[in-house]
């Protein structure tokens, strides 16, 4: 089974586009938050058949049959930016296995910790629809529901504003100095002159 903070998340509330009855060798499920959205990674490992199957958002990415070596790695890409992901398969004892996920060469936990430092995420509800807005601080790219947004930067008296639209709603991300070296720059999302609280995913 998976261990540590990279443990899989099992969700019964979503019906995938494929039948779970067929996935008898499902051993791990992870959810990975990237700029273009939250992606579900599922892994089947048939320890008697040697089968390895990787699904990303319900779509089969890798299928290998009759693998005689039951431990090893499977590497594939996730999301619009083709982020590198690797599932490590390690023997724990006897016929027990441990499955861990790495994103861009880092454990899922380390990747998510680093990501929380390099991105800001907001979730908002407009016109009966949910929107997930992500700012990549290093590039100042703005993503909304999986699409990279057209933006326009503007210098203002106390910092910068990155303007974009969601439908007919005017939005901007305001960047101002916190005045404290450890905190750095504070980013705030404003939609229709209303501040939107930041979320952690």
Contact partners, residue 48, CB within 8 Å, separation at least 6: none
- Provide the CB-side half-sphere exposure for 33 (13 A, CA): 23
For range 102-113, the mean pLDDT: 94
Residue 5, helix vs strand vs coil:
helix
**pLDDT for the residue 150:** 95
For range 96-101, the mean pLDDT: 93
Closest CA to 60 of 43, 84, 79: 43
| Band (3; pLDDT cuts 50, 70, 90) | very low
Q: For residue 136, what are its two tokens? A: 């990549």
**pLDDT for the residue 183:** 75
pLDDT (tens digit, 9 = 90+) per residue, 172-191? 999 998 888 777 889 999 99
Q: Are 88 and 99 in contact, with CB atoms under 8 Å apart?
A: yes
| Band (164; pLDDT cuts 50, 70, 90) | very high
Q: HEC string of 110-168?
A: HHHHHHHHHEEEEEEEECCEEEEEEEECCCCEEEECCEECCCEEEEECCEEEEEEEECC
The pair phi, psi for residue 180, each rounded to 5°, is: -120, 130
- Where b means 16+ CB within 10 Å and e means fewer, 23-43 reads eeebbbbbebbbbbbebbbbb
- DSSP letter for each residue of 36-64: TEEEEEEEEE-TTT--EEEEETTEEEEEE
pLDDT (tens digit, 9 = 90+) per residue, 39-98? 999 999 988 888 999 999 999 999 999 888 888 999 999 998 899 999 999 999 877 899
Name the strands in the sheet holding 26-34, side by side, starting at the edge strand that comes first in the sequence: 26-34, 37-45, 52-56, 59-64
Q: How far apart, in whole angstroms, are the C-alpha atoms of residue 130 and residue 125?
A: 4
Report the share of the chain in percent with pLDDT over 90.
65
**pLDDT for the residue 19:** 42
Q: For residue 73, what are its two tokens? A: 């790695």
| Band (14; pLDDT cuts 50, 70, 90) | very low
């Amino acid at each position: 089974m998976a261990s540590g903070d990279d443990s899989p998340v099992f969700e019964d509330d979503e019906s995938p586009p494929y039948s779970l009855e067929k996935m008898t060798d499902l051993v791990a499920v992870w959810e990975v938050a990237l700029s273009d959205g939250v992606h579900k990674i599922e892994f089947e490992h048939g320890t008697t058949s040697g089968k390895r199957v990787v699904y990303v958002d319900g779509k089969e990415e890798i299928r290998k049959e009759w693998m005689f070596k039951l431990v090893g790695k499977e590497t594939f890409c996730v999301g619009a930016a083709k982020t590198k992901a690797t599932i490590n398969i390690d023997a724990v004892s006897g016929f027990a296995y441990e499955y861990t996920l790495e994103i861009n060469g880092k454990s899922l936990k380390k990747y998510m910790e680093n990501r929380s430092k390099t991105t800001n995420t907001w979730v908002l509800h407009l016109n009966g629809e949910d929107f997930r807005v992500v700012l990549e601080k290093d590039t100042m790219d703005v993503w909304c529901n999986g699409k990279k947004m057209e933006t326009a930067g503007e210098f203002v008296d106390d910092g910068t504003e990155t303007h974009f639209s969601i439908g007919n709603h005017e939005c901007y991300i305001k960047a101002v100095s916190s005045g404290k070296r450890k905190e750095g720059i504070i980013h705030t999302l404003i939609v229709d002159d209303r501040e939107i609280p930041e979320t952690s995913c």
